[in-house]
Amino acid sequence: MRSEVEAPAGAAWPPGTGEDPVLRALLAVSADGLAVVDGRPGSLQGRLRALNAGAAQILGSPAVDLLGTAVPFELSAGDPDLPDRRRVVWAAPGGSRRYLEYRTLLVEPGRWAVWFSDVTGTVRQQERLTAITRAASSVADAYSLRATLDAVAREIAMTASIAAVQILTLDDPQEELRLLGMAGFGDTSDFAERLSACRRLGARVLFMEALERREAIVSLHRKPVIMADPLWAPLHAIMDAPDWDSFVSMPLVVRGRTLGIINAYYAPGEDPGPGSLAFLEAMADHAAVAIDTAALLAQTRSRAQSDERRRLARDLHDSVVQQVFSMRMQAEALRAQLDAPDPDPARVRSGAEELSSLAATALADLRGLVFELRPLDLAENGLVEAVRAHAAGVEARTRLVVEVQAPDDLELDVDVDVQEDLYRIVQEALHNVVKHARATEVDVRIARPAHGGGLQVEVVDNGCGGDPGTDPAPRRGASQGSLGLVSMRERAERWGGRLRAGPRPFGGWRVEVVLPAPGGGRGTERRTGR
């Protein structure tokens, strides 16, 4: 009578199967995970009959404990519609998920050999690379900081190991943090107030320490600590909503300044390893660039608004103030004539008509200046209608003929902020024509570029700028250092566009701005260190 053959160390098979030499050989020599599974063809609920040590290690339990366990491998052989290697998710002990890549072979009716390996690291790396790419696209495309940071938070939370994410920004070290990006939480509208209450109670806030140190902080099994601490009571409801366990806080640093923090809440059974920390650091770079770019845009816009106020003040002085002064002088002259012993009716009528003309001109100029300050609602009327309204105002107070050309089917798939910058570029270009060009006609063209997507805006006049023998810069104030041209160029470049201005070969001046299609991206600044 033969004795039962024992399974190799770490492997397992049920009693009575140890005499199978093929099974013994496979289990002994296979370096990858190998299992024998009983089940019907096409079944997703086969059961482990035998497995080697590699399989037990991958599945996360002793081999003898796994015998008879249902496994999610699809049992098939020779099916041309199925790939040679397939992937499946295995719920390991402790709640973690593992991605397994496997192949099957029918060894006898109802019995299958399944080779499999753990590809969790590869899958998560692919997820992280995808998230990084999408986050970079969000930073390049989105024009709202909150929308951008929400998108970055969502991309982080879509990876397998992370249950929830917060992105908080810090405008001033003395001020409270603002929650601008979030994924995986419920209602967090009062998060900042609740956090302040916890800090007043004396709760230890790890991400504030990460901000001060400018380095990541990893806290394993943090949720039970917070939920058991009465100092965190104001935030218990919010922090208990996601299913998480461990915690990482990654500071957002750009150009040597700390701008905020990413808080990542890891699902139970998922510990933050080196790969995950590197991923969070890359996402922190994107978030930091988005915050820094938004601040730079705000500064640029503020400077442009100040420049426009100064220009409007000059225009007000050069036109309306002078006209009102002339009206006053004309009114005094009329009073003197009327006070004369024998006033001349013809002279009084002429003076009154001149006063009326001055008042009409001043009113037209005032209306034009008011419209420059408050153009048509771009969100409601769009760029083309706003430009046409402005052109009509220019025609009303000057002798200039302004024609606005745009295709009837033109759809502006750009943000209102982009349209406003394009409107201001047209406004500045027309202002230069009125002040310097000695032109009689101007064409404003809004269209798609001939080479593809995006948006192209041109302002072309028939003024004096095109004479090859003259220097065009003085008559336009359009030298490279001119505030007007600098402002127009900055407005174009903040959306990834380019602006060109210069004389035309056969007379006149041309200003052209071309913006890329959405998704073409904007220039970004890489972080210099953490």
The CATH number given to whatever domain includes residue 507 is: 3.30.565.10
Q: What is the DSSP string of 160-201?
A: TTEEEEEEEE-SSTTSPPEEEEEES-S--TTHHHHHHHHHHH
pLDDT band at 476 (very low <50, low <70, confident <90, very high): very low
- 401-405 β-sheet, strand order: 401-405, 441-447, 455-461, 509-515, 498-503
Answer yes or no: are the C-beta atoms of 108 and 37 closer than 8 Å.
Answer: no
Q: Are residues 136 and 49 in the same domain?
A: no
Q: Are residues 171 and 269 in the same domain?
A: yes
Give me the pLDDT at residue 472, please: 45
In a domain, 114, yes or no: yes
- 162-169 β-sheet, strand order: 178-183, 162-169, 257-266, 247-254, 217-219
Task: Output 204 or 45, whichever has higher pLDDT.
Answer: 204
pLDDT band at 97 (very low <50, low <70, confident <90, very high): confident
Q: Please give the Cα distance from 22 to 29 (Å, whole number).
A: 11
CATH number of the domain within which 271 lies: 3.30.450.40
Q: Total structural domains in the chain?
A: 3
Give me the pLDDT at residue 370, please: 65
Q: Which of 91-100, 129-138, 190-199 has the lowest mean pLDDT?
A: 129-138
In a domain, 464, yes or no: yes
Q: Could you tell me which of 305, 259, 266 has the C-alpha nearest to residue 284?
A: 259
Give me the pLDDT at residue 459, please: 96
Q: Are residues 108 and 177 in the same domain?
A: no
pLDDT band at 414 (very low <50, low <70, confident <90, very high): confident
Q: Are residues 214 and 99 in the same domain?
A: no
Q: Are residues 173 and 39 in the same domain?
A: no
Mean pLDDT computed over 474-503: 73
Q: Are residues 128 and 106 in the same domain?
A: no
Q: Which of 315-319, 480-484, 519-523 has the lowest mean pLDDT?
A: 519-523
Structure tokens at 390: 């402005």
- Return the SS3 of 70: strand
CA distances from 509 to 439, 478, 488 (A): 10, 11, 15
Whether the model clears a pTM of 0.85, i.e. scores above it, the answer is no
Q: Which of 12-21, 95-104, 470-479 has the lowest mean pLDDT?
A: 470-479
Give me the pLDDT at residue 480, please: 39
Q: Could you tell me which of 245, 172, 174, 249 has the C-alpha nearest to residue 214?
A: 249
In a domain, 512, yes or no: yes
Give me the pLDDT at residue 265, please: 93
Which of residues 86, 118, 150 is at a domain's end?
A: 118
pLDDT band at 481 (very low <50, low <70, confident <90, very high): very low
Give me the pLDDT at residue 80, please: 52
Percent of the chain with pLDDT over 70: 75
Q: What is the dihedral of CA 418, 423, 425, 429, to 10 degrees?
A: 170
Which of residues 254, 272, 295 is at a domain's end?
A: 295
Structure tokens at 170: 């810090």
Q: Are residues 73 and 97 in the same domain?
A: yes
**Residue 377: is its pLDDT beyond 70?**
no
**Residue 28: is its pLDDT beyond 50?**
yes
Cα 518-521-527 angle, rounded to 5 deg: 150
Q: Which of 34-48, 74-88, 196-210, 407-421 has the lowest mean pLDDT?
A: 74-88
Give me the pLDDT at residue 507, please: 85
Give me the pLDDT at residue 424, please: 87
Mean pLDDT computed over 285-304: 75
Q: What is the dihedral of CA 279, 280, 281, 283, to 10 degrees?
A: 90
pLDDT band at 13 (very low <50, low <70, confident <90, very high): low
pLDDT band at 529 (very low <50, low <70, confident <90, very high): very low
Answer yes or no: are the C-beta atoms of 54 and 30 closer than 8 Å.
Answer: yes
Task: Output 300 or 266, whichever has higher pLDDT.
Answer: 266
Burial class (CB in 10 A: 0-12, 13-18, 19+), 352: middle
Answer yes or no: are the C-beta atoms of 288 and 254 closer than 8 Å.
Answer: yes
Q: Which of 78-82, 215-219, 375-379, 523-527 has the lowest mean pLDDT?
A: 523-527
Q: Please give the Cα distance from 56 to 303 (Å, whole number).
A: 66
Q: Are residues 153 and 95 in the same domain?
A: no
pLDDT band at 478 (very low <50, low <70, confident <90, very high): very low
Q: Please give the Cα distance from 273 to 218 (Å, whole number).
A: 10
**Residue 10: is its pLDDT beyond 60?**
no
**Residue 4: is its pLDDT beyond 50?**
no
In a domain, 326, yes or no: no
In a domain, 336, yes or no: no
Give me the pLDDT at residue 479, please: 41
Q: What is the pLDDT of residues 299-331, one digit of tens each?
A: 776 776 677 677 677 766 666 777 777 788 878
In a domain, 346, yes or no: no
Q: Distance of alpha carbon 214 from its chain centroid, rounded?
A: 24
pLDDT band at 1 (very low <50, low <70, confident <90, very high): very low
Q: Are residues 103 and 168 in the same domain?
A: no
Q: Could you tell me which of 321, 8, 41, 290 has the C-alpha nearest to residue 169?
A: 290
pLDDT band at 523 (very low <50, low <70, confident <90, very high): very low
**Residue 475: is its pLDDT beyond 70?**
no
CATH number of the domain within which 95 lies: 3.30.450.20
Q: What is the 3-state secondary structure (H, E, C) of 1-38?
A: CCCCCCCCCCCECCCCCCCCHHHHHHHHHCCCEEEEEE
In a domain, 303, yes or no: no
In a domain, 110, yes or no: yes
**Residue 19: is its pLDDT beyond 60?**
no
Mean pLDDT of the chain: 78
Answer yes or no: are the C-beta atoms of 525 and 285 closer than 8 Å.
Answer: no
- Return the SS3 of 254: strand
Strand bridging mode 401-405 / 441-447:
parallel
Mean pLDDT computed over 31-43: 82
Q: Are residues 442 and 422 in the same domain?
A: yes
Q: Are residues 145 and 208 in the same domain?
A: yes
Mean pLDDT computed over 268-278: 83
- Return the SS3 of 57: helix
Which residue's entry shows tokens 């998920």? 97
Which of residues 245, 262, 295 is at a domain's end?
A: 295
Q: Which domain holds residue 62?
A: 21-118
Burial class (CB in 10 A: 0-12, 13-18, 19+), 195: buried
**Residues contacting residue 319 through CB under 8 Å, at least 6 positions apart:** 362, 365
Q: What is the pLDDT of residues 424-463, one digit of tens each?
A: 899 889 988 988 888 899 999 999 887 767 899 999 999 8
Task: Output 45 or 126, whichever has higher pLDDT.
Answer: 45
Structure tokens at 368: 């034009």
Answer yes or no: are the C-beta atoms of 77 and 112 closer than 8 Å.
Answer: yes
Q: Are residues 43 and 114 in the same domain?
A: yes
In terms of phi and psi (left: phi > 0; alpha: psi -120 to 50; beta: otherwise), the region of 140 is alpha
Q: Please give the Cα distance from 124 to 429 (Å, whole number).
A: 52
Give me the pLDDT at residue 144, please: 65
